[in-house]
Structure 1
Amino acid sequence: MKGINSLTPKETVAELDRYIIGQNDAKRSVAIALRNRWRRQQVEPPLREEIAPKNIIMIGPTGVGKTEIARRLAHLAQSPFLKVEASKFTEVGYVGRDVESMIRDLTQLAVNMVTKEAEEGVQGKAAAMAEERLLDLLLPRSPGQGTGMSTSLGANVISLGYDAGADKQEASRSQTTRERFREMLHRGELDDRMVELAVSSAGGTPVVEVFSASGMEDMQSSLQDAFSKFFPKKKQPKKMKVPEALEFLKREEAERLVDTESVVEKAIRRTEQSGIIFLDEIDKIASRGGSSSGAPEVSREGVQRDLLPIVEGTTVTTKYGPVKTDHILFIASGAFHVCKPSDLVPELQGRFPIRVNLHALGEEEFFRILTEPRSALIKQYTALLATEDIQLVFEDSAIREMARIAVQVNQKTEDIGARRLHTVIERVLDEVSFDASDREDLVFTVTAEYVRRQLTEISENEDLSRYIL
C-alpha cells in the first residue's frame, strides 16, 4: 500500500470499504478531508497557515457507521484520535468537564503514540543493554574480581604487587563464563532461574486530589507530575524469573533511551497538524427549536459558545505546553431526531461546512455487514469457537434470517442499527457457546431453521424483544 499520508480519496474509500458497508457519501467526505491535509502540507508556508480544515457533521441514526468511519479514518491517517460525547461537557462555571479538556486528552494520546514509536525505534539497542544488565545480575562480580592485585605475606610484612598476567587470566575466565551464560540465556536454559531487581514502588509520590468546578480536572495531573519531581519513586527489591526480568529491563532501557523533550515536541506538532476529534451526540447540545428558554437551554448554548473558539482556532494550555487548535479536524455527529443542525448557534454551524446524511441500514446491508468486512461478526465467532476445536458453519439462509430478524426488531422497538446484530448473533449461538468445551461433534452448522427456533418467539413478542434483543 502507498504511504498513508499520500492515499488518494479513491484509495481511502477503498480502505474504508474493507471495514464499513455502504454510506458512500460519508466515506467520500472524510476521504477528501484526509487528502486535503496532505495537500495543505504541499502548499508554501505563508498560505499554508491560512488553509483551515473543513470540519464535517455526519447526520444519521445510531448504529449506521458514523463512529466507525471516523475511527478507521484516524487509523489510516496514523493520527491522534479522540472520541468524546458533546453531552458530557458543561458550560464554564458549572461542575463537570470543560471543552478544553478534549484538547488535553488528545495531546496525551499523541504523547503516548509518539513515545511508543520512539521506544520501538530503540528496541534493538534496549534489548542489548537489558541483556548485559541481566548477565550482570546472573554473574555478580566478586569484590576483588578483575583488579589484578596479588597479596603476598612475609614474616611481619604484607606486600601488594600488580600481576598483569593474573589480571588477563581472570578477565578471560570471566568473559568465557559470561558468554556461556549468554548462550544458555538464548537457549532458554535459564528461564526458571530467579533474579532480584529494584522496582519503583507506587507509594513514593503523595496523592493529590482536586475537587473543583470545570476547567480544573487537569490540575490534579499537573500537581502529581510536580510532586513526583520532589518525591522520587522509592525502589524496592522484587524477585522475578529471568524472562520476566528481561522484559522489565528492556522497558526500562527503552524509556531511558527515549528523548522526552523530542517526544513532547513531536507529539504537540502531530496534535496540531493531524489531530482528529470526533464529537458525538452534538445534537444533544443544540437548543430544541421552539422550546421555551430555561436553564437547560442556556447550558446547551453555553457549551456551544465554549466549543466555538476551540473549533475556530485557539491556544489551549496543557501540561506539555500550549497547543494550537487551528488545524485539528473536528468531525461531529448526531441523530438530530428532535432538532436539526440549524438549531446550533450560527457561528458554530459555520465551522462545520460539510454535512453528510447517513441512511438507515436495511436487511441487505445487515447481511453484508455480517459477512463482508475483514472483521465481520461471522468471522469473529468462527475464530472464537475454533479455539475449542469447533468448526462453526453458517448457511447463507441462516445469515439472511438473522439480518431479517434484526431489522424486524429494530422496527418494532428502537432502531439501534447494526448494533442489533451483536445481540442477535449472541442469542443464536448461546447454546453452542456454552457447551463448546464438552461437545463431541466438532462441526456445528447454523441453519435458517435453527435461527428461527432460537429467535422467532422472542422477536415476535415486542416486550421480549425490548428486554432480550
Structure 2
Amino acid sequence: MPSLTPHQIVAELDKYIIGQSAAKRAVAIAIRNRYRRQQLPPDMRSEVAPKNILMVGPTGVGKTEIARRLAKLTGAPFVKVEATKFTEVGYVGRDVESIIRELVENAVFLVRAEELERVRGEAEHRAEKRLLRILLQQAENSAGFDAEGDEGGSIRQRREKARANMLKLLRAGALDDRLIEIEVEKKRTPFFFGGPGGEQLDLDMQSMFEKLLSSRSTQRREVTVAQAKDILIAQEAEALIDEDKVHPLAVELAENAGIVFLDEIDKITSGHGGEGPDVSREGVQRDLLPVVEGTTVKTRYGQVRTDHILFIAAGAFHRSKPSDLMPELQGRFPIRVELDDLTKDDFIRVLTEPKHSLIKQYQALLAIEGLELIFAEGAVEAIAESAYYVNQTTQNIGARRLYAVMEHLLEEVSFDVPDKLTGKVIIDRPFVQARLGEIIKDEDLSRFIL
C-alpha cells in the first residue's frame, strides 16, 4: 500500500471531488493510520483498531465517490453495499458475511493482477517460443521439409536460418495478420450455486461440487498471430502464477487494507419512516455489529478476520438521525463527518475542475466525431444555475442533477453530429437559457427528475 501522507491523499481526491474537505481529511487520516500501524511492534499492532467513519449528508454530494477513489488510490480491495439489501427479502435478508466474502474475492483479483504483471516478462518469452514453434511448423508443412537422410545437415541449417528470420519478422510485427491454429482451453461449469440461499451453502461442499462439475477441454481455433500472441501470453502467465501464494496474500490484503462502504445505513434505523417492520431493520444492525466489531468469516480462501477492515458508513439521515442506530453500532463509527449541500458555485467547479469533468467528457466524446464543442463565458454558470434551481424546487440529488441537465442541453447537438453538424459549436448563455428555459417554466419538472 503506498505510504501517501494525509495532504497527498487529499490532493489526489481534490482532482476528482469538489469540496467536502472534512470528509476528505477524515479518510486521509484513516488511511495514513493504517500505514502507521504497520510500523508498530507486532504486539501493539494487533491492538490498534481502525477508526470507522460515518458520513452524513444528502445524496449526490460525493460520499460514495470519496470511498471509491480512496480505494483506487491506495490499491485496496473495495466493496460497496446498500444496507437495505439485507432487508429486501424479510427478516433473514442477505447473509451479512457475504460482504467480507466479496471483499476477499476483490482482493484475490487485485493480487492476481499484480502477480500477472510480475510474471508478464517470462510469460511473453514463453509465448514467443510457442508461437515461433507453431509458425515454423506451418512453414515446414508448406515447404515439405524432411530431415531423414539429411547428409551434411543442410536441412538443419536451413531450419536454423528460417527460425532466425521468422523470429525477426515476428518481433517486428510483420506476421501479425497471418492466420494460424492454436489450442485454446475452455473451462465450463454446468451448474452455478448462486441466487437466494447460495451464500448459505457450506463453502467446503460448494468448492467440492465446483471441482466435480468443472471440466476443462481444449479446442483448436484459427486466429491471427497478433491474437494468438495475447492468448498464449495469458495462458503462460496463468501457468506461472502460484495460486497457493495468491490466496494467503489476498486474505492478508483484505484483512489489513480492505475498505467496506455501507451505504443507506440511515434506512435501517428504527427512526426511519420506511416500509417494513422495525424488527427487520434492527435485525440487520445486529447482524452487522459483529462484522464491524471484529469477527472471523469463513471464505473459500480461508478464515478472514474483520478487526482491521475499514468500514465507512453513509446516509442522508433525512427522516432519522445517527443516534437512532443501536448504541453498540454507533460506538463502532467514532468518526462522524457531515457533508455539505452543493451550491451553485460548487456546480460550476464540478463542471470544470475535476480531472475528467462532465464538460471535458462531452467535449472529448464529440471530438471523436470531429466536432469542437466550446463553452463561452457565462455558459457554465447558466448550466449551474439551472441544475441548482431544479435541486432546490424538486428532490435534491446533488451533482447527479448535472447529468440530466447536460444531457438535455446537448441532446440536439449529440443527435445531429456528424450528419448535420461539423466543425465548431459554441455554447453560450443564450443557448443554455433557450434549451433549459423550460426547466424553469415546467412546474412538475418530471422530465428532469432522475
Q: Give the alignment's TM-score, normalised by structure 2.
A: 0.93
Hey, what's the Cα distance between the residues in 2 that align with 1:175 and 1:361? 70
Aligned to 2:253: 270
Aligned to 2:400: 419
Aligned to 1:206: 190
Contact kept in structure 1, 2:405 and 2:448, CA below 8 Å: no
Aligned to 2:24: 27
Aligned to 1:111: 108
For residues 102 and 357 of structure 1, do their structure 2 counterparts lie closer, same or farther at Cα, with a shift above 3 Å needed?
Answer: same
Q: Cα offset for 1:202?
A: 4.7
Hey, what's the Cα distance between the residues in 2 that align with 1:280 and 1:22? 20
* Runs of at least 5 residues in structure 2 that lack an aligned partner in the other structure: none
Hey, what's the Cα distance between the residues in 2 that align with 1:402 and 1:91? 38
Counterpart selection for 1:181 from 153, 166, 176: 166
Structure showing greater Rg: 1
* Runs of at least 5 residues in structure 1 that lack an aligned partner in the other structure: 151-162
Aligned to 2:437: 456
For residues 225 and 180 of structure 1, do their structure 2 counterparts lie closer, same or farther at Cα, with a shift above 3 Å needed?
Answer: farther
After the TM superposition, which of the residue ranges 128-137 and 360-369 deviates more from structure 2? 128-137
Counterpart selection for 1:246 from 214, 229, 245: 229
For residues 373 and 177 of structure 1, do their structure 2 counterparts lie closer, same or farther at Cα, with a shift above 3 Å needed?
Answer: same
Q: What letter corresponds to residue 192 of structure 1 in structure 2?
A: D
Aligned to 1:36: 33
Q: Cα offset for 1:173?
A: 2.1
What's the secondary structure of 1:114's corresponding residue?
A: helix
For residues 96 and 244 of structure 1, do their structure 2 counterparts lie closer, same or farther at Cα, with a shift above 3 Å needed?
Answer: farther
Aligned to 1:374: 355
Aligned to 1:158: none
**Aligned ranges 1:54-453 → 2 under 5 Å:** 54-90=51-87, 94=91, 96-140=93-137, 150=149, 166=152, 168-203=153-188, 205-209=189-193, 213=197, 215-216=199-200, 223=206, 226-228=209-211, 231-288=214-271, 296-439=277-420, 441-453=422-434
Hey, what's the Cα distance between the residues in 2 that align with 1:236 and 1:457? 60
Aligned to 2:448: 468
Q: Identity of paired residues, percent?
A: 51
Hey, what's the Cα distance between the residues in 2 that align with 1:273 and 1:431? 50
Contact kept in structure 1, 2:91 and 2:279, CA below 8 Å: no
Contact kept in structure 1, 2:71 and 2:77, CA below 8 Å: yes
For residues 63 and 184 of structure 1, do their structure 2 counterparts lie closer, same or farther at Cα, with a shift above 3 Å needed?
Answer: same
Hey, what's the Cα distance between the residues in 1 that align with 2:320 and 2:172? 67
Contact kept in structure 2, 1:74 and 1:276, CA below 8 Å: yes
Cα deviation per residue 1:401-439 (whole Å; 9 max; x = unaligned)? 000000100111100000001111111111111112124
Hey, what's the Cα distance between the residues in 1 that align with 2:368 and 2:62? 30
Contact kept in structure 2, 1:96 and 1:213, CA below 8 Å: no
After the TM superposition, which of the residue ranges 66-75 and 207-216 deviates more from structure 2? 207-216
Q: What letter corresponds to residue 227 of structure 2 in structure 1?
A: E
Hey, what's the Cα distance between the residues in 1 that align with 2:412 and 2:89? 52
Q: Cα offset for 1:146?
A: 11
Contact kept in structure 2, 1:92 and 1:306, CA below 8 Å: no
Q: What letter corresponds to residue 216 of structure 1 in structure 2?
A: Q
Q: Cα offset for 1:458?
A: 2.8
Q: Cα offset for 1:208?
A: 3.8
Hey, what's the Cα distance between the residues in 2 that align with 1:248 and 1:462? 57
Q: Cα offset for 1:169?
A: 4.0
For residues 218 and 423 of structure 1, do their structure 2 counterparts lie closer, same or farther at Cα, with a shift above 3 Å needed?
Answer: farther
Q: Cα offset for 1:218?
A: 7.9
For residues 38 and 222 of structure 1, do their structure 2 counterparts lie closer, same or farther at Cα, with a shift above 3 Å needed?
Answer: farther
Hey, what's the Cα distance between the residues in 1 that align with 2:56 and 2:205? 38
Contact kept in structure 1, 2:187 and 2:214, CA below 8 Å: no
Q: May I ask how many residue pairs the two structures share in their alignment? A: 446
What's the secondary structure of 2:50's corresponding residue?
A: coil
Hey, what's the Cα distance between the residues in 2 that align with 1:210 and 1:377? 38
Q: Cα offset for 1:134?
A: 1.1
Q: What letter corresponds to residue 34 of structure 1 in structure 2?
A: I
Q: Cα offset for 1:170?
A: 3.6
Hey, what's the Cα distance between the residues in 2 that align with 1:147 and 1:358? 77
Q: CA RMSD in A?
A: 2.6
What's the secondary structure of 2:184's corresponding residue?
A: strand
Q: Give the alignment's TM-score, normalised by structure 1.
A: 0.89
Q: Cα offset for 1:90?
A: 3.8
Hey, what's the Cα distance between the residues in 1 that align with 2:146 and 2:245? 41
What's the secondary structure of 1:6's corresponding residue?
A: coil
What's the secondary structure of 2:303's corresponding residue?
A: strand
After the TM superposition, which of the residue ranges 264-273 and 430-439 deviates more from structure 2? 430-439
For residues 28 and 212 of structure 1, do their structure 2 counterparts lie closer, same or farther at Cα, with a shift above 3 Å needed?
Answer: closer
Q: Cα offset for 1:462?
A: 2.3
Contact kept in structure 2, 1:58 and 1:332, CA below 8 Å: yes
Q: What letter corresponds to residue 49 of structure 2 in structure 1?
A: A
Q: Cα offset for 1:361?
A: 0.5
Hey, what's the Cα distance between the residues in 2 that align with 1:188 and 1:119? 23
Contact kept in structure 2, 1:276 and 1:328, CA below 8 Å: yes
Q: Cα offset for 1:93?
A: 8.7
Contact kept in structure 2, 1:410 and 1:420, CA below 8 Å: yes
Q: What letter corresponds to residue 438 of structure 1 in structure 2?
A: D
Contact kept in structure 2, 1:101 and 1:218, CA below 8 Å: no
Q: Cα offset for 1:192?
A: 2.6
Cα deviation per residue 1:354-377 (whole Å; 9 max; x = unaligned)? 000001001000001101111111
After the TM superposition, which of the residue ranges 74-83 and 267-276 deviates more from structure 2? 74-83
After the TM superposition, which of the residue ranges 388-397 and 355-364 deviates more from structure 2? 388-397
Hey, what's the Cα distance between the residues in 2 that align with 1:72 and 1:396? 31
